């Protein structure tokens, strides 16, 4: 059977796009491969938000040339922001790429997969290819048997905010909001196909407005949460400026919403926020945090922080550190500023690399201490989590995600079976140890639906021997 392998870099917007490509491929008769060496078509969905993501994507694209050399019938497709940005350069940098589709050309990519389908009829993978060592490398997301449990539904494309460090408006264009009725219809379809958790995705998701009625993002969440069969709802990635008290009060009335919000701070200093064109002051950011604490005191708040943005002084950095040390963020994605071609900040005087690295190390340590303490508080509790799949590092373990987005890893129960766990994917994990990256524990119950108590799961063999 013809198969397609999809590897995704970057944000949930890209994961949503990959899901669309997977749906189109499946509808055209492909199976979804979980290893590149098993596929006829390799799709690399790329990201350019950080220099590192761009380099990793090119590394992977070049890596896949090994497969094309072993089997010239393999097709390599690049999509996502890098495809948009480097459309012309790509032929020079990676001439083995067969096709490039920008972020607004996913429908054409789906059509191309459909038109290629017959070329792979009766494909037998060559001996040469079978002998290839697994290509390895860790992608951010590979579409697999559990992917459909988490449905990404795009509510908006592009962004009109033009933060001075960000390439998104340049490669994805300005805001384009989908009408609510289209979004609701797509959520219904995903639920009918087995989705247990729906993630509403937009580059600035809470800026969404229905182009017809003017309804806001809180209204949209209410409408989606009322759909039959919806078990959990979540959203990414909001902008602090667009949260209103009305919207947060809407969230508080929706028990299906996952108890977490991502509030990308970027910097704790007013001077930096101005230079970044973030459209809020530090005081306004603190007000949004206070609103969440007032209406949703149990929600985890996570954030993004950039260190070493052009012009950042020691005092600016200390303002960020102060907020991090206060323990307000359950987790943070921290980055050293990296130049993005075509953005205003790329032309400004840069912070010395040594200074940048030293600040980053301090910030990283400070947030790790806070994150570890957040995870420590889970020890001894039993948490409901949705299965992600076998752990990438240890195939005898299962990776799960809690509703506040903490990774919980546990030994695979003796009755583990991919199809069974895809049908009954809600796992109660008794948390035993905590780390910066998440928690470990034991799976004690398994349920088909989020609201069900679930049935007991047999203890892993190792536990039985120990008792
Ligand atoms: S809000 Fe800023 S960082 Fe976010 S996508 Fe828009 S321009 Fe980029």
What whole-number distance in Å separates Cα of residue 217 and Cα of residue 4? 35
Other CB atoms within 10 A of residue 194 CB: 13
CATH assignment of the domain containing 206: 3.30.750.210
Other CB atoms within 10 A of residue 163 CB: 22
Q: Measured in angstroms, how far is the CA atom of residue 321 from the centroid of ligand 1?
A: 22
Establish whether residue 165 lines the binding site of ligand 1, counting it when its CB lies within 6 angstroms of any ligand atom. no
pLDDT(23) > 80:
yes
DSSP three-state, residue 443: strand
How do residues 58-83 score in pLDDT, each as one tens digit? 888 988 888 888 888 899 999 988 88
Other CB atoms within 10 A of residue 290 CB: 10
Q: Look at the alpha carbons of 125, 126, 130, 132 in this order and tell me if their dihedral is positive or negative.
A: negative
Which residue segment(s) compose the domain that 221 sits in?
A: 145-258
Give the pLDDT band (50/70/90) at residue 315.
very high
Q: Measured in angstroms, how far is the CA atom of residue 303 from the centroid of ligand 1?
A: 14
Q: Are residues 241 and 275 in the same domain?
A: no
How do residues 145-179 score in pLDDT, each as one tens digit? 688 899 999 999 899 999 999 988 988 889 999 99
Q: Measured in angstroms, how far is the CA atom of residue 75 from the centroid of ligand 1?
A: 33
**Composition of the chain by helix, strand, coil, percent to 5:** 40, 25, 35
Test site for ligand 1: of 14, 161, 241, 306, most ligand atoms within 8 A of the Cβ: 161
Q: Measured in angstroms, how far is the CA atom of residue 28 from the centroid of ligand 1?
A: 35
Interstrand relation of 260-262 and 382-390 (parallel, antiparallel or unpaired):
unpaired
Test site for ligand 1: of 203, 243, 267, 333, most ligand atoms within 8 A of the Cβ: 203
Q: Are residues 301 and 222 in the same domain?
A: no
Q: Supply the Cα-derived Rg of the chain in whole angstroms.
A: 22
Establish whether residue 273 lines the binding site of ligand 1, counting it when its CB lies within 6 angstroms of any ligand atom. no
Q: Are residues 320 and 420 in the same domain?
A: no
Q: Are residues 47 and 125 in the same domain?
A: yes
Establish whether residue 236 lines the binding site of ligand 1, counting it when its CB lies within 6 angstroms of any ligand atom. no
Per-residue pLDDT, averaged over 36-45, amounts to 90
Strand ranges, E, within 162-213: 176-177, 197-201
Of 117, 142, 167, the last residue of a domain is 142
What whole-number distance in Å separates Cα of residue 195 and Cα of residue 187? 9
What whole-number distance in Å separates Cα of residue 376 and Cα of residue 391? 21
Per-residue pLDDT, averaged over 3-30, amounts to 88
User: 164 in a domain, yes or no?
Assistant: yes
User: 263 in a domain, yes or no?
Assistant: no
User: 264 in a domain, yes or no?
Assistant: no
Of 142, 164, 190, the last residue of a domain is 142
Main-chain phi, psi angles of 322, to 5 degrees: -60, -45
CATH assignment of the domain containing 407: 2.40.50
How do residues 349-367 score in pLDDT, each as one tens digit? 999 999 999 999 999 999 9
Q: Are residues 131 and 11 in the same domain?
A: yes
Q: Are residues 126 and 62 in the same domain?
A: yes
Q: Are residues 92 and 46 in the same domain?
A: yes
Test site for ligand 1: of 103, 171, 239, 346, most ligand atoms within 8 A of the Cβ: 239
Q: Are residues 322 and 409 in the same domain?
A: no
User: 247 in a domain, yes or no?
Assistant: yes
Establish whether residue 206 lines the binding site of ligand 1, counting it when its CB lies within 6 angstroms of any ligand atom. no
User: 430 in a domain, yes or no?
Assistant: yes
pLDDT recorded at residue 262: 96
Establish whether residue 9 lines the binding site of ligand 1, counting it when its CB lies within 6 angstroms of any ligand atom. no
Range list of H helices, 377-417: none
pLDDT recorded at residue 445: 96
Establish whether residue 400 lines the binding site of ligand 1, counting it when its CB lies within 6 angstroms of any ligand atom. no
Residue-averaged pLDDT of the chain: 90
Query: Counting atoms of ligand 1 from 1, which one is nearest the CA of 172?
Result: 5
Q: Are residues 126 and 15 in the same domain?
A: yes
Sequence-distant (6+) residues with CB within 8 A of 21 are 4, 6, 43, 45, 79, 106, 109, 110, 113
Query: Counting atoms of ligand 1 from 1, which one is nearest the CA of 162?
Result: 7
Establish whether residue 306 lines the binding site of ligand 1, counting it when its CB lies within 6 angstroms of any ligand atom. no
Per-residue pLDDT, averaged over 188-206, amounts to 94
CATH assignment of the domain containing 287: 3.30.750.200
pLDDT recorded at residue 195: 93
Of 319, 347, 376, the last residue of a domain is 376
Per-residue three-class SS string for 242-266: HCCHHHHHHHHCCCCECCEEECCCE
Establish whether residue 279 lines the binding site of ligand 1, counting it when its CB lies within 6 angstroms of any ligand atom. no
Per-residue pLDDT, averaged over 278-306, amounts to 98
What whole-number distance in Å separates Cα of residue 462 and Cα of residue 107? 49
CA angle, 96 as apex, 94 and 101 as ends, to 5°? Answer: 75
Q: Look at the alpha carbons of 335, 341, 343, 349 in this order and tell me if their dihedral is positive or negative.
A: positive
What whole-number distance in Å separates Cα of residue 183 and Cα of residue 203? 15
Q: Are residues 210 and 119 in the same domain?
A: no
CA angle, 405 as apex, 462 and 155 as ends, to 5°? Answer: 140
Q: Are residues 15 and 129 in the same domain?
A: yes
Q: Look at the alpha carbons of 109, 110, 113, 114 in this order and tell me if their dihedral is positive or negative.
A: negative
Asked if 307 contacts 347 with a C-beta cutoff of 8 angstroms, the reply is no
Q: Are residues 233 and 296 in the same domain?
A: no
Nearest CA to ligand 1 atom 1: 161
Interstrand relation of 31-33 and 150-154 (parallel, antiparallel or unpaired):
unpaired
What whole-number distance in Å separates Cα of residue 6 and Cα of residue 46? 11
The distance of Cα 318 from the centroid of its chain, to the nearest Å, equals 29
Test site for ligand 1: of 53, 169, 262, most ligand atoms within 8 A of the Cβ: 169
Test site for ligand 1: of 204, 266, 277, 303, most ligand atoms within 8 A of the Cβ: 204
User: 265 in a domain, yes or no?
Assistant: no
Asked if 263 contacts 231 with a C-beta cutoff of 8 angstroms, the reply is no
Query: Counting atoms of ligand 1 from 1, which one is nearest the CA of 266?
Result: 3
Give the pLDDT band (50/70/90) at residue 122.
low
User: 27 in a domain, yes or no?
Assistant: yes
Establish whether residue 265 lines the binding site of ligand 1, counting it when its CB lies within 6 angstroms of any ligand atom. no
How many domains are contained in the chain? 4
Establish whether residue 266 lines the binding site of ligand 1, counting it when its CB lies within 6 angstroms of any ligand atom. no
Residue 373: enclosing H or E segment and its boundaries? Answer: helix 353-376
User: 340 in a domain, yes or no?
Assistant: yes
CATH assignment of the domain containing 86: 3.40.50.12160
């Amino acid at each position: 059977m013809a198969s397609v392998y999809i590897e995704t870099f970057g944000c949930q917007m890209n994961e949503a796009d990959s899901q669309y490509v997977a749906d189109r491929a499946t509808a055209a008769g492909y199976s979804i491969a979980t290893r590149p060496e098993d596929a006829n078509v390799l799709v690399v969905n790329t990201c350019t938000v950080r220099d590192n993501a761009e380099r990793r994507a090119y590394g992977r694209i070049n890596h896949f040339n090994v497969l094309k050399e072993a089997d010239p019938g393999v097709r390599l497709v690049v999509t996502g922001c890098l495809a948009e940005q480097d459309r012309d350069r790509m032929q020079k940098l990676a001439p083995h790429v067969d096709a490039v589709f920008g972020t607004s050309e996913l429908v054409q990519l789906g059509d191309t997969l459909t038109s290629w389908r017959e070329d792979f009829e009766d494909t037998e993978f060559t001996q040469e290819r079978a002998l290839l060592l697994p290509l390895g490398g860790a992608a951010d997301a590979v579409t697999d048997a559990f992917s459909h449990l988490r449905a990404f539904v795009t509510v908006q494309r592009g962004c009109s905010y033009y933060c001075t460090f960000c390439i998104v408006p340049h490669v994805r264009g300005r805001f384009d909001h989908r009408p609510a009725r289209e979004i609701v219809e797509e959520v219904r379809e995903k639920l009918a196909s087995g989705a247990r958790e729906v993630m509403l995705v937009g580059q600035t998701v809470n800026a969404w407005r229905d182009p017809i009625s003017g309804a806001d993002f809180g209204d949209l969440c209410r409408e989606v949460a009322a759909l039959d069969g919806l078990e959990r709802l979540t959203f990414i990635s909001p902008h602090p400026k667009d949260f209103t008290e009305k919207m947060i009060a809407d969230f508080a009335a929706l028990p299906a919403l996952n108890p977490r919000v991502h509030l990308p701070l970027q910097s704790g200093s007013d001077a930096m926020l101005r230079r970044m064109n973030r459209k809020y002051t530090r005081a306004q950011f603190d007000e949004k945090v206070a609103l969440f604490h007032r209406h949703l005191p149990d929600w985890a708040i996570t954030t993004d922080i950039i260190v070493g943005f052009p012009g950042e002084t020691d005092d600016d950095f200390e303002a960020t550190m102060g907020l991090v040390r206060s323990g307000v963020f359950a987790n943070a994605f921290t980055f050293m500023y990296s130049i993005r071609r075509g953005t205003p900040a790329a032309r400004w005087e840069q912070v010395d690399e040594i200074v940048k690295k030293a600040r980053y190390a301090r910030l990283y340590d400070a947030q790790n201490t806070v994150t570890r303490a957040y995870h420590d508080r889970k020890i001894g509790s039993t948490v409901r989590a949705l299965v992600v799949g076998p752990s990438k590092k240890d195939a005898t373990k299962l990776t799960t995600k809690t509703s506040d987005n903490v990774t919980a890893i546990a030994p695979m129960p003796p009755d583990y079976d991919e199809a069974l766990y895809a049908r009954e994917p809600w796992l109660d994990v008794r948390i035993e140890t905590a780390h910066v990256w998440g928690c470990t524990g034991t799976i004690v119950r398994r349920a088909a639906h989020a609201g069900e108590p679930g049935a007991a799961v047999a203890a892993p063999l190792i536990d039985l021997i120990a008792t």
